[in-house]
Amino acid sequence: NCTQATEFNLVGFTEDPATQVTLFLLFLLTYLVTILGNLGMITLIRASPLLHSPMYYFLGNLAFVNLCTSTIISPRILVGILLGRKGMPYAGCMAQVFTFGLFVISECFLLATMAYDRYMAICHPLLYPLVMSPERCSRLVTSSYLLGLTNGVGQTISMSSLFFCSPSTIDLFFCDISLLISLSTSDTTLSLIILRTSSSLLGVSSMLVVLVSYVAIISTILSISSAEGKRKAFSTCASHLTTVSTFYGALIFVYLIPRSDTSRGGDKWAAVLYTVVTPMLNPLIYSLRNQEVKEAWRRLRKIK
């Protein structure tokens, strides 16, 4: 005997006013850096002929996905802290499930595509121009978005059939699908099947592509005789490896490591890592560690 929930209460980080001010400033700064960094990366890749290559084509799309992911999450956090609004309308929560599911899986496959790109560049350099043609790169990126769209639609359809009693409280700062399923008073068998199938077929498969690619890359680098050759080969994928480690590490911690409800306190901060921090760090990692990006910045500044 309960009424259908028209909104969900999202639990914030703290009720202490002083801490809330600090968190607001930190999240605001992080979001501004994310916007400037990713927009700057997209603009630089489009404007600089030096960066018109498959790797930077994928990086530009990764920057776009990071920008969208952060925009789905960060403004809601800022509004919640500033105005104390914890409620998320039911329709807004479903929209967040759809868009977040779309862009997270798209990012997984973009990272897998970038790993495959580095595998071809390092392990099969003679075949690289033929395999990574502009047409194939475009198809790989389009496939990443389509797989993300498939995931978003599937998750939203599975959620639309569930019933939630009012009031419903989500112990997180966004509408996470796994927490929503656990709150439902309906039969969640189908939703869990869709979630686990999607995680296995899409998330795990993209992770395997990354792992297999880097096993082959590391094996090839170790077979190079000169230390300078090893350094140059590793430098071409160091930025991507850093991004992959941060992103997948947080996802594995939140969704794949089993633990009791009393030990899930770190989930909220791990979620901050892959929803808020990683989108900010990606353009910084590629800007600071990549010589071609640095050179493109210098040339663009000279032109201006």
- Over residues 75-112, the pLDDT tens digits come to 988 988 888 777 888 888 999 999 999 999 999 999 99
Domain containing residue 38: 7-301
9-18 mean pLDDT: 79
Residue 162 is predicted with a pLDDT of 86
Would 224 be classed as within a structural domain?
yes
- Indicate the average pLDDT of the chain: 85
User: What pTM was computed for the model?
Assistant: 0.90
- Over residues 31-46, the pLDDT tens digits come to 999 999 999 999 989 9
Residue 84 is predicted with a pLDDT of 75
Would 2 be classed as within a structural domain?
no
Residue 120 is predicted with a pLDDT of 93
Please check the confidence at residue 261 and state whether its pLDDT lies above 80. no
Residue 79 is predicted with a pLDDT of 87
Would 182 be classed as within a structural domain?
yes
> Any idea what the Cα angle at residue 270 is, between residues 289 and 258, rounded to 5°?
125
Would 222 be classed as within a structural domain?
yes
Q: What's the structural domain count of the chain?
A: 1
> For residue 279, is the peptide bond before it cis, meaning its omega torsion is within 30 degrees of 0?
no
With CA atoms as reference, report the closest residue to 58 among 130, 102, 103, 107: 107
Please check the confidence at residue 262 and state whether its pLDDT lies above 50. no
Would 263 be classed as within a structural domain?
yes
Would 1 be classed as within a structural domain?
no
Would 78 be classed as within a structural domain?
yes
Would 161 be classed as within a structural domain?
yes
What's the CATH code of the domain at 254?
1.20.1070.10
Q: Is residue 10 within 8 Å of residue 170, measured between CB atoms?
A: yes
Count of beta carbons in the 10 Å neighbourhood of residue 171: 16
